[in-house]
Structure 1
Amino acid sequence: MKIDILALDGVFDTGLAALMDTLSTANELAQAHTPDGRVFDVRLIGVRKRVRTAQGFTATVEAPEPGRTPDWVVVPAVNAKPPERLVQALGRRDVRDARERLRNWHESGVGIAAACLGTFILAEAGLLDGREATTTWSMAPLFRQWYPRVRLDDSRMVVASRGIVTAGAAMGHLDLALWLVRQASPELASQVARFLLIDTRSSQAQYIIPDHLAHSDPLIERFERWARTHLAAGFSLQGAAEALHVHPRTLQRRTEAILGKSPLAFFQDLRVEQAKHLVATGHDLEVIAEKVGYSDAATLRNLLRRKLGRGVRELRSELG
């Protein structure tokens, strides 16, 4: 499988290394069983002769070869997390050139993949319009505002949609690399994960910090503050809207536009976050259920397992 990793100035060092090291390990493990069993032909390419990483290292990159048609082109993240820096990065000439090349590759049938903020480059190129995609959860509100035509689900770690694959935050580069290995050999992907101690994750949901997302919009921030003081009570959209002096439809539309979920779903996320904290501090489950507005411990137990993928006993062991 031919994989070209398209690196741009300011590339996230860990993301680039995670991609290259995972694919390199896959080749080493494959060759350990079969001397000529190299699975991946990996090249580091760019639209310039050299790139400077976010940590200041210089990497020499190859120009895309006219006669080479890769199976996949992968775009690691650029390290430009503040929105104003991301705007500057997306407007750079090398990024504009990369977008044009990505469109050409896609039109010729090459698979395109990106992780974390690399997904913004795909969205800028128009490659994600009308598709399901994911991105780094911390920038999801901004992504939704900039690219409303993308069907974003930031709870997922990896999303494949008709020849384009996107992955979530920062270490999602590992998940993306394993996804690529899995396309060649599920058994090899399992071996790589074991050798590199990679825990596969299907969801980003357990890592999302609702408070961080709320600060992306003044109304959502006010709603979050109100919600935290009403966790023990039953949720009422009308009551929340009246307290915030807005129409219920305004609150509904705003939370869906910014957070990609309803006010009730966000309210439940806050309940889960608080319950998780109380579990970690050793509170009895019946007491926790009462504090976060559930009538019995069984309902809360099922909710935690559904949302976090782990039971109460596992949470206590993990967080204690």
Structure 2
Amino acid sequence: MRISILALDGLFDTGLTVTLDALAIANRFAQRRSKTALFEVSIVGVRKRVRTGQGFLIPAQEAASVAKPDWIIVPALTTSTPESLIPALERKDVKQAVKHLLAWHGKGAHIASSCIGSFLLAETGLLDGHEATTTWWLAPLFRQRYPNVSLDESRMLVSSGRLVTTGAAMGHLDLALWLIRKASPDLSQMVSRYLLADIRSSQAPYIIPNHLAQADPLIVRFERWAREHLKEGFSLQQAASALAVSARTLQRRCQSVLGKSPLDYFQDLRVEHARSLVQGGVDLEEIAAEVGYADGATLRSLLRQRLGRGVRELRADLR
């Protein structure tokens, strides 16, 4: 399998190196078995040398000379805020990279992106009409900029046709393990054990609701109101009245910014608060009352459903 990693100035160092390391480890194990490496990996760029986010210079094969790899991987840029990312997407080298991605895809190549790399892939228009994921804290910006993409930032990896997107930061490793598994499930398991890493299905346990709310003033106000009413049953009309907007406006704004209903976001805040209390050792029945649930059993089921982990596991995290 021929894999080209598209490197641009300011790329996320960890994303690049963890991808290279995982694929190199897989090749070493494969060669022990059959004397043949599974992956032919190259770094390509619109320039011959690329400066990483940490300031290291790395050589790159010129993209114009690359005919058609089996896979193109687009790692993240070190631009973790909207204020830094939006100007980066307007750079000349990024525009050139977009053209190369379109050309490679037109020739039949598969394209995978990780973390903020999904923004660069979305710039091509190839994700329009497809499902995708991205780094969770930039999901509101992604929805605003690419309304034709079906975004679900709770998922860690989304495969749609010849396009693959993965979630935040260490999603680069999830992507590498996924590619290895496509070539050899046994080999993927071996690499996972050596790296003490597994493919994760969800980003949900890592999402901080407060960070998502900051993208919109109305959502910030809604979050404050919601935190003050966690003990009560949720009422869309009551929330909208308190914020001096219509229920329809609040519903639409939550959907456009957060990709979910006001009730779903209210539930996210309940789960976040409950998790912090669980990890603080508070009795489960007390926590249930604090976040508006009838009993501990109901809360236990909700935590398992939303976080994929039980009370015992959550408390064990801090030991």
Deviation at 1:82, TM superposition (A): 2.2
1:96-130 CA-partner distances (Å, limit 9, x unpaired) = 01000101111111000100111000111111101
User: Secondary structure in 1 aligned to 2:62?
Assistant: coil
- In the TM superposition, residue 201 of structure 1 has moved relative to its aligned partner by 1.0
Letter in 2 for 1:172: G
* Structure 1 residues 34 and 178: alpha-carbon distance in aligned structure 2, compared to 1, 3 A threshold: same
What one-letter code is carried by the residue in structure 1 that aligns with 2:147? Answer: P
| SS at 2:317 equivalent | helix
Residue 31 (structure 2) aligns with: 31
In structure 1, distance between residues paired with 2:316 and 2:80: 33
Give the percent of matched residue pairs that are identical in Structure 1 and Structure 2.
61
Between 184-193 and 58-67, the greater mean CA deviation after superposition:
58-67
Q: Secondary structure at the match of 2:237?
A: helix
Q: Is it true that 1:253 corresponds to 2:247 in the alignment?
A: no
The aligned residue for residue 12 of structure 2 is 12
Partner SS for 1:189: helix
- Mapped to 2, the partners of 1:67 and 1:13 lie a distance apart of 23
What secondary structure does 2:46 align onto?
Answer: coil
Q: Deviations over 1:221-277 (max 9, x none)?
A: 000000001000000000000010100000000000000000000000000001101
Partner of 1:22: 22
Letter in 2 for 1:46: G
* RMSD (Å) for aligned C-alpha atoms: 1.0
Superimposed CA distance per residue, residues 162-205 of structure 1 (whole angstroms, 9 cap, x where no aligned partner): 00000000111000111111111111111111011113210000
Structure-to-structure mapping, 1:1-320, within 5 angstroms? 1-35=1-35, 37-64=36-63, 66=65, 68-320=67-319
Deviations 1:38-77 (A, max 9, x none): 0000001111111000000000101236474211000101
Aligned mates of 2:13, 2:126 — CA distance in 1: 25
Which runs of no fewer than 5 residues in structure 2 stay unpaired? none
User: Shift of residue 87 of structure 1?
Assistant: 1.6
Q: Which moved more, 1:57-66 or 1:5-14?
A: 57-66
Distance in 1 between the 2:296 and 2:122 partners? 43
TM-score, length-scaled by structure 2: 0.98
Unaligned runs of 5+ in 1: none
Give me the whole-angstrom Cα distance separating, in 2, the residues matched to 1:162 and 1:28: 30
The amino acid of 1:61's aligned partner reads A
**Stretch deviating more after TM superposition (63-72 or 125-134):** 63-72
Contact 2:81 2:138 (C-alpha < 8 Å) held by counterparts: no
Partners of 2:178 and 2:199 within 8 A in 1:
no
**Contact 2:15/2:170 (8 A) holds in 1:** yes
Runs of 4 or more consecutive aligned structure 1 residues displaced over 2 Å after TM superposition: 64-69
Q: Report the secondary structure of 1:198's partner residue.
A: coil
Q: Deviations over 1:128-174 (max 9, x none)?
A: 10100000001000100111000000000000000000000011100
Residues 285 and 296 of structure 2 are in contact (CA less than 8 Å); yes or no, is this contact kept in structure 1?
yes
**Alpha-carbon offset, residue 316 of structure 1:** 1.1
| Structure 1 CA distance for aligned equivalents of residues 64 and 97 of structure 2 | 14
* Normalised TM-score (structure 1): 0.98
What is the CA–CA distance in structure 1 between the aligned matches of 2:139 and 2:88, rounded to whole Å? 17
- Between the aligned partners of 1:190 and 1:265, the Cα distance in structure 2 is 35
CA gap of 1:14–1:156, structure 2 versus 1, over 3 A, is same
Q: Distance in 1 between matches of 2:55 and 2:217?
A: 36
Instruction: Give the letter for the 1:28 counterpart.
Output: R
Residues of 2 paired with 1:79 and 1:207: CA distance? 20
AA aligned opposite 2:10: G
